Amino acid sequence: TRHDDRQHGSSIARPGKVKEVTSLTNPIVKDLRSLALKKFRDQQGVFLAEGLKLVIDALDLGWVIKTLVYSKAGKGNSLVEQVAARTIAKGGDVLEVNEKVISAITRRDNPQMVVGVFEQQLQPLSATRAQGNDVYVALDRVRDPGNLGTIIRTADAAGAKGIILIGDTTDPFSLETVRATMGSVFAVPLIRTSETEFLSWRKGFSGLIVGTHLKGAVDYRTIPYGGKPVILLMGNEQQGLPDTLASTCDKLARIPQEGRADSLNLAIATGVMLFEIRREALTLDGGK
């Protein structure tokens, strides 16, 4: 409306959908704050992503934004206004809030200027068709949000085609995980499955399944990874791979270690494996 137009003085196409909210007790703010809990994220099928660049990248990649929140510091910033206009054009809402509100939503002392609420996207395993030199990372019951986020980011950087989450895992859409992905959560397809479904899907998979195991018989550098799709299967942080999953692998690989530590951190081990598997495919010329 004309009234809102004047109030916000921006170039937003339908400014009637821009709301200014300053109180923590506002029901919209309460709703957004509830997204810190998995229960409410799942009920609404959404998650929060912080940061202007990240929100722009997500929109460019076709992710559906439900609500854009920006703090007063973002007012007048042309990039923020463009994102706000894109949000409204897609039927989303835009909230202009103060720093206290954005801090409360993201549970951070020094919050980003912009937060987006996006629709969750998970792919079914049944639709996953690995081909060529595709590499997927399969994670057995990953528990730690920081590990999962770091693995998603690393998989993106190594050019993996997706992450298969097996069994009861930490939520890929928690604030902590999304933060640790540094935006890669929008770039790497996430697939959720059970151990039973994975074991049956695997029967139709003609590539190589490489499990990693502290009792792995093979040095990870001796496996010929090329020429076929690879599933890299990583074990749970506490328990490693159960026999059911370990016995389905074509190879069990181990990264040789020295020193005091019994094992590597899960995300580090995944990184070491991924860059070995992708050794030939990744070049300084072809990438960033």
Structure tokens belonging to residue 251: 């190879």
- Mark the segment that binds ligand SAM (CB under 6 A) among 41-49, 71-79, 128-136, 257-265: 257-265
Q: How far is the CB of 269 from ligand SAM (least distance, A)?
A: 4
Task: Using DSSP bridges, classify how beta strands 46-50 and 251-254 pair: parallel, antiparallel or unpaired.
Answer: unpaired
Structure tokens belonging to residue 23: 């109180």
Q: How far is the CB of 214 from ligand SAM (least distance, A)?
A: 5
What sign does the CA torsion over 43, 82, 63, 284 have? negative
Q: Is 146 in the site for ligand SAM (CB under 6 A)?
A: no
Q: Is 252 in the site for ligand SAM (CB under 6 A)?
A: no
| C-alpha distances in Å from residue 27, one per residue of 33, 50, 108, 127, 203 | 10, 21, 20, 39, 49
- Mark the segment that binds ligand SAM (CB under 6 A) among 9-17, 69-77, 196-204, 263-271: 263-271
**In this chain, which of 240, 245, 248, 251 binds ligand SAM, going by CB under 6 A?**
240
**In this chain, which of 178, 237, 277, 278 binds ligand SAM, going by CB under 6 A?**
237
Contact 48/116 with Cβ under 8 angstroms? yes
* Vertex 67: Cα angle to 6 and 19 (nearest 5): 25
Instruction: Give φ, ψ of 203 to 5 degrees.
Output: -65, -30
What sign does the CA torsion over 42, 23, 107, 188 have? positive
Q: How far is the CB of 216 from ligand SAM (least distance, A)?
A: 6
- Mark the segment that binds ligand SAM (CB under 6 A) among 21-29, 77-85, 158-166, 262-270: 262-270
Q: Is 212 in the site for ligand SAM (CB under 6 A)?
A: yes
Q: Is 167 in the site for ligand SAM (CB under 6 A)?
A: no
DSSP H helical ranges for 45-119: 52-60, 78-89, 99-106
- Mark the segment that binds ligand SAM (CB under 6 A) among 58-66, 92-100, 190-198, 229-237: 229-237
Query: Contact positions toward ligand SAM, by CB under 6 A?
Result: 212, 214, 216, 234-235, 237-238, 240-241, 254-255, 257, 263-264, 266, 269
